[in-house]
Amino acid sequence: MLKKERAAFIDQRLQSLYPNPPIPLDHTDSYSLLVAVLLSAQCTDARVNTVTPALFKLAKTPQKMAGVAVEEIKAIIRPCGLSPQKSKAISVLSKMLVDLHGGEVPDNFADLEALPGVGHKTASVVMSQAFGHPAFAVDTHIHRLAQRWGLTNGKNVQQTEADLKKLFPKDRWVDIHLQFIYYAREHCQARNCFGLECEICSTCYPKRVNKKIVLKP
């Protein structure tokens, strides 16, 4: 298969497997999504979903969170890992949302990425899932699949994102980002498929015999 043929097959197969992919992080608005995505760094979505109810019971708006002590936030989010950094980021970004944005989560990349703890991937998730902006957030799951499926040679997520945006229609970016993630978790895990076992890998590369080892970006 040529790259465009692989992309077309992958697009069709993912759409058939996950026609209406839900957002795996529980949230009620753009603020709770922003905090949940921040907490998900180096942590599973499932664990984040067990922690956020207590956090948002304590404070569910930027205004209320800005008044909570960092140590109190840290105690709740400790199971997510990196709690000293994440708790400080949640506290400071909440204050910035109140002081600079009227308590609202901004709907543009520049202002989102200016918030502590919010990189391009987190901003992309918020822009796409909260505001419907056609963004294509690339995490380690998506980077791994894009490498195994021959959709990119990029050694970092920035290049992988650029390559994937060229291959898939803009109106598919929001959903296909999630579809990649679900497929990666269920069928093409880092320490299982190795580019040899799952349906998409074996269809795209039926003659591949050596493991496709993908380093973390």
Q: Exactly one of 60, 86, 121, 212 is catalytic; name it.
A: 121
121 catalytic? Reply is yes
Scan for tokens 């790259």, then name that residue.
3
Sign of CA dihedral 101, 104, 110, 115: positive
CA–CA dist 59, 68 (Å, integer): 8
Q: Write the DSSP assignment of 149-196 as a string of letters.
A: TTS---SSHHHHHHHHHHHS-GGGHHHHHHHHHHHHHHTS-TTTTTTT
Q: Write the DSSP assignment of 24-38 as a string of letters.
A: SS--SSHHHHHHHHH
Q: Exactly one of 139, 175, 211, 216 is catalytic; name it.
A: 139
Q: Would you please indicate which residues are annotated as catalytic (active-site) residues?
A: 121, 139
